[in-house]
Amino acid sequence: MKVICTQENLKSGLAAVGRIISSNSSLPILNNILIKTENGLLKISSTNLEIAITTHIRCKVEEEGETTVLSKTITDLINNLPNKNVVLTAKGPQMDIEAENYHTSIKTLPAEEFPLIPSVENSETILIDSQKIKEAMDQVAFAASTNQTQPEISGILFSITGDEMKVVATDRYRLAEKKTKLLEKPHKSYEVIVPHKTIQELSRIIGSQKGVVNMVFSETQVSMFFNDTQIISRLVDGQYPPYQQIIPTEFITTVVADKQAFINALRAGGVFSQGSNSVNLSYDSQKQILTVTSESNELGKSVVEVPSQIKGDAGSLILNYHYIIDCLQSIETPQVKMEIIDDSSPSLIVPIGKNDYTYLVMPIKS
């Protein structure tokens, strides 16, 4: 195999596939990436047996072929080469890499040892704007459980009905749901759970790029294709909890507050809640003030008053301030609405002026 490509293209391709590789793998070949010529392009692939990522980069193919090289070694090397043309030549157990006055050889393993990357068979492709799906994933993914003993809620739910996609995550202490529109209405409905890591990788690959994400679901796998990069991932096996049943429909108090002022108050309170992560939120419709209080015997006390529009009964509740900040930082509107029942029931946070995002958070019992 012999190809010539730019350092910039090669660097970008290696970055797209490299993050899923674990250096602790018991199979040495999984530390490698597959480099292969295909249809006049250079195909670069990686897998950890749960997720596989493949990308194509432009190059000049002088000799067809394929091989595998250690991902960290070639990535570190290419990142430090000058922004010039790079020549890759694979011969037997090594690959020669040349760029300007750099001449390097790295060890290879045969391409035949690399795991077969499966294809996802389904006649229907779901199309969605890349920035819309990235926004949806980023607004909910942080709420997914990190407890692998509950695999269903360690993933992200994709629920598709008509031309609407709901993206949902929960860890049983909080829940985030984002609704977004598809570019075309699929022929049938879907409900699948995608691993959290897969969602992170897709969001990273999209970045700020505009375009269309093509999604294909099978019984056990999902394929997500964007520009020149494809992610194939196993789906999480299991049934997602019927989360709609826990979302209240009636509330006692409504608080409308400036988002940034609310975030600043929570951060100030967080200084004094180390260990517990809890702050007290008290609200009073007579004073039209939302008060965020946090106190520590060792550190001191913080009291921040946030002028707000409050309707309903006065009261207070204790919340994990990290959970609220995560939500508020993902909301783009300048104002948010918090709907409260009491200090032992879940509260709802939604953006003012939009009805496509819902965040539910359980209070901490005093």
| C-alpha triplet 237, 19, 106: angle, nearest 5° | 130
Q: In the structure, what pLDDT confidence band is assigned to residue 26 with cuts at 50, 70 and 90?
A: confident
Average pLDDT over residues 258-274: 95
What is d(CA 101, CA 307) in angstroms, rounded to the nearest whole number?
64
164: β partners: 161, 181
* pLDDT at position 101: 93
Predicted model pTM: 0.92
What is d(CA 151, CA 153) in angstroms, rounded to the nearest whole number?
6
Is the confidence at residue 147, as pLDDT, over 90?
A: no
* pLDDT at position 23: 73
- pLDDT more than 70, % of the chain: 99
What is d(CA 214, CA 228) in angstroms, rounded to the nearest whole number?
11
Cα–Cα nearest to 266, from 318, 339, 335: 318
Average pLDDT over residues 31-57: 97
pLDDT in tens, 47-103: 999 999 999 999 999 999 999 999 999 999 999 999 999 999 999 899 999 999 999
Examine domains 2-113 and 126-244 and report if their fold is the same: yes
Is the confidence at residue 25, as pLDDT, over 80?
A: no
Average pLDDT over residues 254-261: 98
Average pLDDT over residues 277-297: 95
Is the confidence at residue 294, as pLDDT, over 70?
A: yes
* pLDDT at position 335: 98
* pLDDT at position 342: 96
Is the confidence at residue 27, as pLDDT, over 90?
A: no
Contact 222, 232 (CB under 8 A): yes
Contact 323, 174 (CB under 8 A): yes
The mean of the pLDDT values for the chain is 95
Question: From residue 99, how far is each of 38, 63, 85, 87 by CA, in Å?
Answer: 22, 18, 6, 6
* pLDDT at position 251: 97
What is d(CA 109, CA 60) in angstroms, rounded to the nearest whole number?
23
Higher pLDDT, residue 22 or 251: 251
CATH class of 126-244: alpha beta
Average pLDDT over residues 285-299: 94
**Number of Cβ within a 10 Å radius of residue 149:** 6
- Please tell us whether the domain made up of 247-361 is placed in CATH 3.30.1360.30: no
**Hey, where are the domains in the chain?**
2-113, 126-244, 247-361
Q: In the structure, what pLDDT confidence band is assigned to residue 365 with cuts at 50, 70 and 90?
A: confident
* pLDDT at position 165: 98
Helix (H, G, I), strand (E, B) or coil at 68: strand
178: β partners: 167, 357
pLDDT in tens, 180-220: 999 999 999 999 999 999 999 999 999 999 999 999 999 99
- Sequence-separated (6 or more) residues with CB below 8 Å from residue 56: 13, 38, 41, 42, 43, 44, 228, 229
User: Considering the domain 2-113 in this protein, what is its CATH number?
Assistant: 3.10.150.10
Cα–Cα nearest to 119, from 36, 232, 201: 232
Q: In the structure, what pLDDT confidence band is assigned to residue 24 with cuts at 50, 70 and 90?
A: low
